[in-house]
Amino acid sequence: MSVINDLLDRLSTKKIAMYNKDFLLTWEKTSDEIEATFLVARILQEMRKANISPRIWHSGIAVSNFRDNSTRTRFSFSSACDLLGLYVQDLDEGKSQIAHGETVRETAVMISFLTEAIGIRDDMYLGEGDRYQREVAQALDEAVQDSILPSRPTIVNLQSDIDHPTQSMADILHLAEHFGGLDKLKGKKIAMTWAYSPSYGKPLSVPQGIIGLATRFGMEVHLAHPEGYDLIPDVIELAKKQAAASGGKFVHSHSMEEAFKDADIVYPKSWAPYDVMLKRVPLLHAGDQAGLKELEKQCLANNAKFIDWECTEEKMKLTKGGKALYMHCLPADITDVSCKAGEVAASVFDRYRNDTYREAGFKPYIIAAMILLGKRKDPVKTLKTLIERNHKREIE
């Protein structure tokens, strides 16, 4: 209990204004809000350990809206919602349907009459995923203003074309726990690098999410990728500014080796070239299968030029003491395991497998924290009420 009390004390010092707001991009949140999210996640984790139920709702609905496949995020979202007492109802639009305008507005309201939280994944269309989430958000705002909805469901971005905050927040919380505190990240070097994969079209949201968040903690963030594998320019600009403001550093190169050199942490991960992502959007919209096939062919041929962008034992030796912490959002493309040539050598992945699992384990708590903070005006009070209530999460 002293752990929980300590975390609560720290939480009560944070100045936050997250109530009735969504969690779409980490850089829309203040540092206090980011830290509050970490603290609430940790408190919920400790409450579960202490067998104190953090169930806020006796009944209530959460909506999951996956516009792209998902296993681990789906389970993280379900687990988070269930932990707080919400029943998850999936909104299945059919994979191909890209609804906009009137339909989005109407559907947003129709699914929200008794709804507390909405998790949305929409990451396939550059320029659209984040826009869709904001369209839903605006419809909800208006419906609350017009007294159509009794309260404002909070939206959690479960991956958009721009950011993947439930992933990046779990990643940073993992680092904080690994290195002994958020403040210990100051000065640490993290290499966020592209890596070769035989697959194609992976979203940019993970690398963007990492450079958009890690640069806020005084870290040296080194982004490296082959030419042509750029990220959204605005996010690069943001990363630069944030690094400067936090006393950190943002380096952008085309060398995996440079990025790995003396790194404390490496995050080698494949993504699609920015240009290809741009070209894909009209093809996807037009349902142009031939065009998409041709684009994929070109892209894979291009990818193949960078097959040496693999996180090998040799490259790991370049890192600080040869012992950088390897990270991945999973599933990784592991050479000779899940594919012939991939993002990471099997022996490297093996050594860090448990670390990547631990990394993933923070996600349900991060999501639960985002929901709690979006739905509760005074989260410290709510958590104290739950602790005093002391319902057992499970009967022994």
| Phi, psi (degrees; rounded to nearest 5) at 86 | -100, 140
Strands (E), 206-274: 220-224, 249-253, 265-268
Least spacing, CB of residue 379 vs a copy of itself, in Å: 11
Nearest CB to a copy of itself, comparing residues 82 and 288: 82
Q: Residue 50 Cβ, how far from a copy of itself at the closest point, in Å?
A: 11
Q: How far is the CB of 262 from a copy of itself (least distance, A)?
A: 29
Long-range contacts of 357-363, Cβ-Cβ distance < 8 Å, separation of 24 or more: 358/174, 359/170, 359/171, 359/174, 359/327, 359/328, 360/72, 360/76, 360/170, 360/329, 360/330, 362/41, 362/45, 362/169, 362/170, 362/173, 362/174, 362/177, 363/72, 363/73, 363/76, 363/166, 363/167, 363/170
Residue pair 266/193 in contact (Cβ under 8 Å)? The answer is: yes
Of 87 and 274, the one with the shorter C-beta distance to a copy of itself is 87
Residue 368 beta carbon to a copy of itself: minimum distance, rounded to whole angstroms: 10
Nearest to 314 by CA among 347, 292, 337: 347
Nearest Cα to Cα of residue 271 among 333, 220, 213: 333
Pick the closest to residue 41 from 356, 371, 267, 280 (CA basis).
371
Strand order in the sheet with 115-122: 87-90, 61-66, 115-122, 154-160
Q: How far is the CB of 12 from a copy of itself (least distance, A)?
A: 17
Give me the least distance between CB of 143 and a copy of itself, in Å please: 7
What's the closest the beta carbon of residue 56 comes to a copy of itself, in angstroms? 5
Q: Determine contact, residues 173/135, Cβ cutoff 8 Å.
A: no
- Specify the residue, 224 or 334, whose C-beta has the smaller distance to a copy of itself: 334
Closest approach of a copy of itself to the CB of residue 70, in Å: 11
Find residue 115's DSSP bridge partners: 61
Q: Is 58 exposed, middle or buried (0-12, 13-18, 19+ CB in 10 A)?
A: exposed
d(CA 267, CA 169): 14
- For a copy of itself, give the closer residue by CB, 140 or 318: 140
Residue placing its CB nearer to a copy of itself in the complex, 108 or 238:
108
Q: How far is the CB of 13 from a copy of itself (least distance, A)?
A: 21
Q: Which residues of this chain interact with a copy of itself, rule CB under 8 A?
A: 48-49, 53-61, 63, 71-72, 74-76, 78-79, 82-85, 87-89, 91, 101-103, 106-107, 109-111, 113-116, 143, 146, 148-150, 330-331, 334, 337-338, 354, 357-358, 360-361, 363-364, 376, 378, 381-382, 385-386, 389, 391-396
Q: Which residues contact 133 (CB under 8 A, 6 or more apart)?
A: 22, 24, 120, 122, 155, 157, 160
Residue among 66 and 217 whose Cβ is closer to a copy of itself: 66
* Residues in CB range of 307: below 8 A, 6 or more apart: 196, 341
